[in-house]
Amino acid sequence: MNGILAFKLIVTPLLVLICMLITRRWGAFVGGVAAGLPVVSGPLSFFLTLEQGTAFSAHASYNTLLGIDANGLAAVAYPWLAVLGIPWYLAIALSLGIYFLGGWIVQFFPYWPLAAFALSLLSPLLVLVCLPRQDSPEATQPQHTHWWLIAAQMGFGSLLVYVVTEVAHWLGAGWSGVLMFFPVMICAMVPFIHATQGAGAVVRIYRGLMAGWFGCIAFAAIVMAFVERTPLWLCYVLATAAALGASAVVTLVQKRMKAA
């Protein structure tokens, strides 16, 4: 329990800070790739396996794949709301409402792992197609550093992880899996980017997030397939390697397509 509590209260805000610093140094797209990786859902999946068992974890990972589809709806909504001039606090509230609606809908899907995997792969591709087009140049170094706002976002990210995981233990594998892909990093980073760099940066960070989402899909699929069949350390090593490899490949493809 001490290790889990430390992760919820210490590691998560540090990850948020690292992703924000990456965004400031290399821009919204690269920051989005980092934030889209399973930096939150991966450790949470591991701790859930320790607490609830491998069968529960496998079923939760299946629902995580469905949660990616629910999150995809919100990932389309927020950038369009930002481009239309909706302020960040309304945009995040509306997009979260769409996420929870989508999470409720996917609970009615029949249990079909291959279909869930295929739909999860399709989700970030559709998001990329549906994102608004923003051709303004990217500003990698904002004029002002709002450290108080960064600290607030770090605390918010930690609070979100703590609340979601505490509630998820009582909701069963269905909602636990969907909430495993709760947009913690989006809630912690995107409003800050929206407020300080504008709608164009929001679109760019979501493009990066989609590359990271392929890593999350690979991670969840490996856990779903192997957590009951292999030692835990091997399962999560394979899942982590698959997540990093998938995100790297998709990032390179996006970069080459942009250059072309």
pLDDT at 239: 94
Element containing residue 232 per DSSP (H, E) = helix 232-259
pLDDT at 141: 46
pLDDT at 146: 63
- Residue 37, classed as helix, strand or coil, is coil
Quote the CA–CA distance of 159 and 82 in Å, as a whole number.
25
pLDDT at 2: 58
pLDDT at 143: 45
pLDDT at 193: 84
Instruction: Give the mean pLDDT per block of 10 residues along the chain (260 residues).
Output: 67 78 76 77 83 89 92 93 93 94 91 92 92 62 59 74 74 84 80 86 87 90 94 94 88 75
Q: What is the DSSP letter of 9?
A: I
Say if CB 92 and CB 210 are below 8 A apart: no
* Residue 195: count of CB within 10 angstroms of its CB: 14
Contacts of 150 (CB under 8 A, 6+ apart): 17, 20, 192
pLDDT at 50: 84
